């Protein structure tokens, strides 16, 4: 099993030593690791998620989880100002939105390895695009609040963050770098399953971040995480690390997160929704979770960030939703089990009659190895891959059936209402 870390809620008591994926190799049943997923926002929830056991899961239902909430009462944060330790800026040619399939500004094609990262220069460039996100929440015990981080994505006020920072908020405020007063914010659209949200504030000429071009992230790239860790006073916290792994997948209480970068840059509660940035000053991921050890397992410097490869298409979908276009998730129609023999993939336990899986000829006992050429490592990976597609999409599914390796094509439909 495996463990992931907790979120951040404003708290006046900070305890020393409290630590705050697209596909991943799932551990065997005998060496399962319990992941305590602390969605690292200022919301105070520590979530135990059993990622490696062999409980049943299905692409038509969400996995079971055990959730433990730790409430922290942080004080309101002082005004945030950008770091001023460096006058340097990181220069990079960018692709304007009109030249890109995305509305946000996208960096250039990568032509080779980056130089060693200049932390001060990167912080000076991206710091002004990093904002504090404050959510007022209504609970059974009255009003409460949470604090996270966001990224200015467009000059006219679109801001991206994690869904768990803003979900259920009765009101939202955003404070920009160098400003003393927060601005009212509107939730344009939210995707809880992918843990991403799109906000909007009034403004023009805002310092929008540059996002890395999808496919440009490489294992071992140096990165910095920027965010309002622990809702501490002053400028955002900046921590240095590398991209430790690509395409991790983690089970959540609403399905699974895929397309995750793993990093050893320190991520704490309050960092949720903030940028993970490369040496060119480009956002490569949205920080979302951290792992911590248990009484029987050690976990050090393991954080997770939703990569731009995964996030940018979702943000485009959210922009469409904000204009009234509702998105439906794809549906395959199989129930899944984990493999217990140490192999890669997810075992089909049952195929629902009359579903795309049935029409494609999938059978109980088949092992799904890949979807559209991307390896599926565990039930969570398959759930996430199908969820990210839409009704009408055709997918090529690689299946191991006994000694045969088969390729089948399924046309996804909408999830049945009953």
Give pLDDT tens digits for 276-285: 999 999 999 9
Q: From CA 191, how far away is CA 154, in angstroms rounded?
A: 19
Whether the predicted pLDDT of 73 surpasses 60: no
Question: Which residues are annotated as catalytic?
Answer: 164, 195, 272
Give the three-class secondary structure for 402: coil
Q: Which residues contact 174 (CB under 8 A, 6 or more apart)?
A: 131, 132, 133, 134, 150, 159, 182, 183, 185, 199, 201
Per-residue pLDDT of 2-36, as tens digits, reads: 433 444 444 333 333 333 333 333 333 333 333 44
DSSP 340: S
Domains of the chain: 1-327 (2.40.10.120), 330-414 (2.30.42.10)
Report the pLDDT value the prediction gives residue 101, as an integer from 0 to 100: 66
Average pLDDT, the chain: 77
Per-residue pLDDT of 82-107, as tens digits, reads: 343 444 444 444 444 444 567 899 99
Task: Report the candidate in 304, 220, 223 with the shortest Cα–Cα distance to residue 267.
Answer: 304
Q: Are 249 and 309 in contact (CB under 8 A)?
A: no
Q: Are 122 and 90 in contact (CB under 8 A)?
A: yes
Mean pLDDT of 160-181: 92
């Amino acid at each position: 099993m495996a463990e992931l870390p907790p979120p951040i809620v404003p708290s006046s008591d900070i305890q020393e030593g409290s630590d705050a994926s697209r596909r991943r190799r799932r551990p065997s049943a005998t060496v399962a690791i319990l992941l305590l997923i602390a969605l690292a926002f200022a919301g105070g929830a520590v979530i135990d998620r059993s990622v490696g056991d062999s409980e049943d899961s299905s692409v038509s239902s969400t996995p079971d989880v055990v959730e433990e909430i730790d409430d922290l009462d942080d004080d309101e944060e002082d005004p945030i100002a950008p770091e001023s330790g460096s006058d340097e800026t990181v220069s990079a040619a960018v692709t304007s939105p009109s030249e890109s399939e995305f509305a946000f500004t996208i960096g250039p094609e990568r032509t080779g390895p980056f130089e060693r990262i200049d932390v001060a220069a990167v912080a000076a460039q991206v710091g002004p695009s990093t904002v504090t996100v404050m959510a007022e929440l209504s609970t059974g015990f009255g009003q409460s609040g949470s604090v996270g981080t966001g990224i200015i994505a467009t000059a006219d006020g679109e801001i991206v963050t994690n869904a768990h920072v803003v979900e259920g908020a009765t009101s939202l405020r955003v404070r920009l770098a160098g400003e003393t007063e927060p601005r009212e914010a509107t939730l344009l659209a939210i995707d809880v399953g992918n843990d991403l949200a799109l906000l909007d504030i009034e403004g023009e000429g805002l310092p929008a971040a540059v996002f890395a071009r999808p496919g440009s992230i490489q294992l071992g790239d140096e990165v910095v995480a920027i965010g309002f860790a622990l809702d501490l006073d002053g400028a955002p916290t900046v921590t240095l690390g590398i991209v430790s792994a690509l395409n991790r997948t983690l089970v959540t209480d609403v399905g699974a997160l895929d397309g995750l970068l793993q990093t050893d840059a320190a991520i704490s509660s309050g960092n949720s929704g903030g940028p993970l940035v490369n040496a060119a000053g480009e956002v490569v991921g949205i920080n979302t979770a951290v792992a911590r050890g248990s009484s029987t397992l050690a976990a050090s410097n393991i954080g997770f960030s939703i990569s731009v490869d995964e996030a940018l298409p979702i943000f485009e979908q959210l922009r469409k939703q904000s204009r009234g276009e509702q998105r439906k998730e794809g549906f395959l129609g199989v129930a899944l089990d984990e493999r217990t023999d140490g192999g890669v993939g997810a075992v089909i336990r049952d195929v629902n009659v009359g579903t795309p899986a049935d029409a494609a000829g999938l059978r109980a006992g088949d092992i799904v190895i890949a979807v559209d050429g991307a390896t599926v490592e565990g039930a969570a990976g398959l759930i996430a891959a199908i969820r990210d597609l839409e009704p009408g999409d055709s997918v090529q599914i690689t299946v191991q059936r006994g000694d045969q390796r088969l390729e089948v094509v399924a046309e996804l439909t909408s999830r049945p209402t009953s």
